[in-house]
Structure 1
Amino acid sequence: MTHTVATAKKLEEALRADGVRITRQRAAILKVLSEAEDHPDATELHRRARDIDESVSLATVYRTLTALEEQGIVHRHSFEGTPARFETADLPHHDHIIDLDTGEVVEFRSDKIERLQAAIAEELGYDVVRHRLELYCRRKDK
């Protein structure tokens, strides 16, 4: 089973567990979410889902995202100055760089940053349970 198919199945199972019927429209939304390699906002998810099924409404996108977020299967990112963006929660931990000029979101992972965060928390008497790191940047060559 490919990662995309497995992700779509997890999304579907989460909705069913919440008592939500899987309609053609919701199936289209789940397909788009599971295939997304970026961090689309609700409007972009709606546009992509309508390419699959023209009857998908923006309201259905929002209701579906809310149910998936409540189940913890989708992460909502509220990057400064942009509409909320979404990604599935089954991805390995990563942090984000947000390009202030283009709005592009770049995922990255740094073992050095992870170690430093753990060391700082330890010095202050804490264990890191989870974290999010967002760096708002501009390219140097601009």
Structure 2
Amino acid sequence: MTVMITMEELKKRLQERQCKLTPQRQIVLQVFIENHDEHLSAEEVHQILREQGSEIGLATVYRSLELLSDMDILQKIDFGDGRSRYEINKRDEKQHHHHHIICLECGNVKEFEEDLLENLEELISKKSNFNIVDHQVKFYGYCQECQKKREN
């Protein structure tokens, strides 16, 4: 289930956190709106912006991504490939975030919406007297295309 986020919603989230939506932040966020199913690195965001004719610098992209991540507008994710990736934080505070499946060959990342860990989380919470508010799961393996290539 893909949730579409609008610039107006993101602008409202920033205002709630007393943060301005500068032109640089707006064009960075627009990249995520237009690529809503992607998990983009700073370099990928910068490349997309350059292809669109933007003069924004890579350092500005990094600063914008870090600020937007710190404010929970974007979610920063580490898939173990040495680069932080980002996506719009679409979740409702009452819902867990989706999980990811990552291909070790091509690096393709897909979202997995099913939350199979609710019972385990409840058990851990009760046994440890720990208030769990979220969790993240990453599954690593080979996508269908890479499996075919590996068989040949």
TM-score by length of 2: 0.75
Aligned to 1:116: 120
Looking at structure 1, the residues matched to 118 and 103 of structure 2 have their Cα atoms a distance apart, in angstroms, of: 22
Looking at structure 1, the residues matched to 21 and 87 of structure 2 have their Cα atoms a distance apart, in angstroms, of: 21
Deviation at 1:39, TM superposition (A): 0.2
Aligned to 1:107: 111
Which amino acid in 1 is paired with 2:120?
Answer: L
Q: Measured at CA, do residues 28 and 139 of structure 1 come closer, stay the same or move farther in structure 2, by a change above 3 Å?
A: closer
Q: Measured at CA, do residues 123 and 44 of structure 1 come closer, stay the same or move farther in structure 2, by a change above 3 Å?
A: same
Looking at structure 1, the residues matched to 21 and 128 of structure 2 have their Cα atoms a distance apart, in angstroms, of: 47
Q: Measured at CA, do residues 10 and 62 of structure 1 come closer, stay the same or move farther in structure 2, by a change above 3 Å?
A: farther
Runs of 4+ in 1 over 3 A off after TM superposition: 10-13, 123-127, 139-142
Aligned to 1:57: 57
Looking at structure 2, the residues matched to 123 and 10 of structure 1 have their Cα atoms a distance apart, in angstroms, of: 38
Deviation at 1:47, TM superposition (A): 1.1
Unaligned runs of 5+ residues in structure 1 are: none
Report the count of equivalent residues: 137
Unaligned runs of 5+ residues in structure 2 are: none
Q: Measured at CA, do residues 50 and 121 of structure 1 come closer, stay the same or move farther in structure 2, by a change above 3 Å?
A: same
Deviation at 1:21, TM superposition (A): 5.5
Which amino acid in 2 is paired with 1:67?
Answer: L
Deviation at 1:132, TM superposition (A): 0.8
Q: Measured at CA, do residues 27 and 126 of structure 1 come closer, stay the same or move farther in structure 2, by a change above 3 Å?
A: closer
Q: Given that residues 39 and 86 in structure 2 are in contact (C-alpha distance below 8 angstroms), is that contact kept between their aligned partners in structure 1?
A: yes
Task: Quote the sequence identity (%).
Answer: 30
TM-score by length of 1: 0.79
